[in-house]
Structure 1
């Protein structure tokens, strides 16, 4: 994936023919909103980043395992104009009136993670890309955001916004990066807003292939297209139940990351790994133990119990003070946590990572994509749905 993010000059190079008319109308509306927000200014260019749906490999990327998502047509679009006046101020508006316009100094970005503002994701993308590019005095930009990815629906609207802003800012400074470079930078960007994702969302947004799912692996980051059964249709339905990752990070997403980290470390220690403190992901623990998925699950059954672990119990198992466990193995947003579901987390990760590998094998070993293959794929996903 050492391919630069492409630049196109026609909407027909981005959208399907049946969607083109609606997209032309949409971009006209973005242009009108831009002029209204920025005193008649006209965009110099547009950046775009798609959302994604994950077919299989849920909650395993931050444990080091591969995932199998695909990009969707729904996207974030950012219209960009470079200000004619000197300075480092960036002003961001949104076509959705419930998201107020705001400005910040691009040379001194401070993100208040305690305030759950939509602009935090935009500022995270801006901050991450300017730091990665060494832009200590970035240009003054006007940005108009338009999104058609349902927010909080599990389709990575927030990550797409981070990616799109980073792409817009890089182009606004005449910088050309590869898809891989953007994916790695944007994965780090989201840590500025207090979430500890593993990189799937950002990677598929930049590295997707049309007409294929992608098997994305980490350490190092790489992506491979996976051919799905011919004629397969995936229905992506929005339940309208909103889950805002940033808002609930301390008690949900980030806590789950910490529980997986503690599980990995405990597996390595109880399995007799000498440098167990280095096994901070379940994949690292598995590699250190040189064990198959079945062998790892057997170790989990032997050493773990299904009840919540307390910090006091973990202190005894690790042979470390509680304070050291908190400072060494937990994140800033989860330091108050005192109850950890280790058995459930590690069991899910190992089972799901194994299913993901099986799914890819099924697709790879039947290139003609027969009906029988479609049935096998559906059965694999059915098991995934029961987790």
Structure 2
């Protein structure tokens, strides 16, 4: 399993990129970054941590409900060169960025004392509380700066490997870092996750936590990166981090999160005839979408809506849910598990059958039903107010706020429980159908089905996904809707938004032999591409294939 493999540390890029042309291209980038690092700090870097962005082929906004998703790593990435720094302050960081708009930053973690309940009877007899020290880095999620993502990655390393309560003599190494990246910020290609993953890797590497007995596995790194990104105010489900860390070339990942993290490498359909396959084309809407900035009315609000919907759906269907770990509220995936009534993990055909049956039951979440109206209206569902939602849950106002609102900042007049649930369950079904098509295309019996038919079927699922994201989950925007329509009219088999939405990128499935023609048509019709040319246009719309996941490159003399 990919999650059980150790995080790779390479000393030769030819081990990462077997293709000589690609190895030479990437080698030039790594050499240039090492030279810039030496110019900035006067010494050569010891490591370069690399984490790619990702494109989600299908399965949007369902990872935090614990349903499987289908992403792939892309060539665009974040690189962080790092080396030890001469400093008397433990863990002091001097952080530079190759982009001129990001100014150099200097910071160091601090040990702060906090009061904690006494842990032993003897402690209790002496004092009601004891002082506990913990590391602190200043991160303001309401006013994000580029170094906040660096600090977020650092937090995980401090918490996991430098706990002062268990190892008071251990201190992090002072470090110089230089950040460079080609993943456009706010594009929906997961630049934030790539930044946090590469930061986490850089601090692990410089503190010798990727070798010997402490060498961590990829699955553990995914968990750390998910927790780290929460430091910047984003309640991520883990898809972005898993794709950035676990992916391999020429494959996508079917990632599941329930009952535990699991990742299956799945080859995308291909043909034996050069030029007759498909490639992925990413197009940036040029509408910047920052998950953290609009979280309370967008991303985090959707998390709350799905969690409340899960609780009320289980209540309406009289399902018995097992206690969630650490008192966390149940997810829509856990509701499905209770509805199926079989021990997890279940086979995908059982999961599909359960989804299809449960979709016939979700009308109980319509606003009219929750208000006690006699007839459930079809069409547009206006949602419910906070008061109506609390009443439908059967919880007291205090208990409801404690479970669903005390840990997150959201803002809404109406909460859309039915529409969000319908998207989650139909999108999860599309992911399973997408996976089946990919697996079938690589089996011997697939010879009876033409590759074009498979590509069209995959494209149809992608386009249906976008419609659901736009109409049910309301995470699209006019520019993304326009861009996907232009892509379909320009020859794509299918097109959809990818990432959190509300801006960012689309991904289109395009015939391999028509990529240049396709890009030319889209560039000519999408208004925001007007006036772009050369490198600027190449950064806004580009073809890519599934690439390698995160790794650390160790520089040797």
Quick check: TM above 0.5? yes
Q: Deviations over 1:219-240 (max 9, x none)?
A: 3111111111112211111121
User: Could you tell me which residue of structure 1 aligns to residue 269 of structure 2?
Assistant: 229
Which structure 1 segments of 5+ residues have no match?
none
Match in the other structure for 2:185: 151
Q: Which runs of 5+ in 2 are unaligned?
A: 111-135, 165-170, 210-214, 271-276, 342-353, 368-380, 469-557
1:264–1:236 CA distance, 2 compared to 1 (3 A): same
* Residue 253 in structure 1 maps to residue 299 in structure 2: yes
The answer to whether the Cα contact below 8 Å between 1:124 and 1:193 also exists between their aligned partners in 2 is yes
Q: Give the deviation of 1:199 after TM superposition.
A: 0.2
Q: 2:426 aligned with 1:351, yes or no?
A: yes
The match for 2:383 is 308
Which of 52, 70, 73 is the matching residue for 1:71? 73
The answer to whether residue 197 in structure 2 is matched with residue 163 in structure 1 is yes
Matched residue of 2:249: which SS? coil
- Paired with 1:386 and 1:2, the residues of 2 have a C-alpha distance of 36
TM-score normalised by length of structure 2: 0.66
Distance 1:24 1:213 in 2: 24
- Is residue 151 of structure 2 the alignment partner of residue 115 of structure 1? no
- Output the CA distance in 1 between the equivalents of 2:80 and 2:39: 15
8 Å CA contact 1:86–1:139 kept in 2: the answer is no
Q: How far does residue 331 in structure 1 lie from its aligned partner after superposition?
A: 5.2
Please give the secondary structure, in 2, of the residue aligned with 1:144. Answer: strand
1:208 aligns with 2:208: no
Range with greater deviation from structure 2 (127-136 or 97-106): 127-136
8 Å Cα contact 2:301/2:411 also seen in 1? no
Give how far 1:46 is off.
0.7
- 2:51 is paired with a residue whose SS is strand
Q: Contact 1:166/1:186 (CA < 8 Å) preserved in 2?
A: yes
2:234 matches 1:195: yes
| Distance of aligned partners of 1:45 and 1:277 in 2 relative to their CA distance in 1, 3 Å threshold | closer
Write the distance in 2 (CA, Å) between the matches of 1:102 and 1:303.
49
Following superposition of structure 1 onto structure 2, how do residues 330-345 of structure 1 map, counting pairs within 5 Å? 330=405, 332-345=407-420
Q: Name the counterpart of 1:97.
A: 100
Residue of 48, 51, 54 corresponding to 2:53: 51
Cα distance change of structure 1 residues 323 and 37 upon mapping to structure 2, 3 Å threshold: farther
SS at the partner of 2:73? strand
TM-score of the superposed pair, with normalisation by structure 1: 0.94
Query: 2:11 maps to which residue?
Result: 9
Deviation per CA, 1:349-381: give whole Å up to 9, x if none. Answer: 000000101111111123156513223222222
Residue 239 of structure 1 corresponds to which residue in structure 2? 285
- Structure 2 contact 153–196 (Cα < 8 Å) conserved: yes
Distance 1:350 1:9 in 2: 44
**Shift of the alpha carbon at 1:25?**
3.4
Give the Cα–Cα distance (whole angstroms) in 1 for the partners of residues 207 and 384 of structure 2.
Answer: 50
Bigger-Rg structure (1/2): 2
Match of residue 206, structure 2, among 157, 167, 172 = 172
Whether 1:284 and 2:286 are equivalent positions in the alignment is no
Which of these residues, 154, 160, 166, is aligned with residue 132 of structure 1?
A: 160
Residue 43 (structure 1) shift: 0.6
Distance between the aligned counterparts of 1:195 and 1:331, measured in 2? 15
Shift of 1:308: 2.0
Q: Deviations over 1:6-40 (max 9, x none)?
A: 111223333443344443333333223323332x1
Alignment partner, residue 294 of structure 1: 356
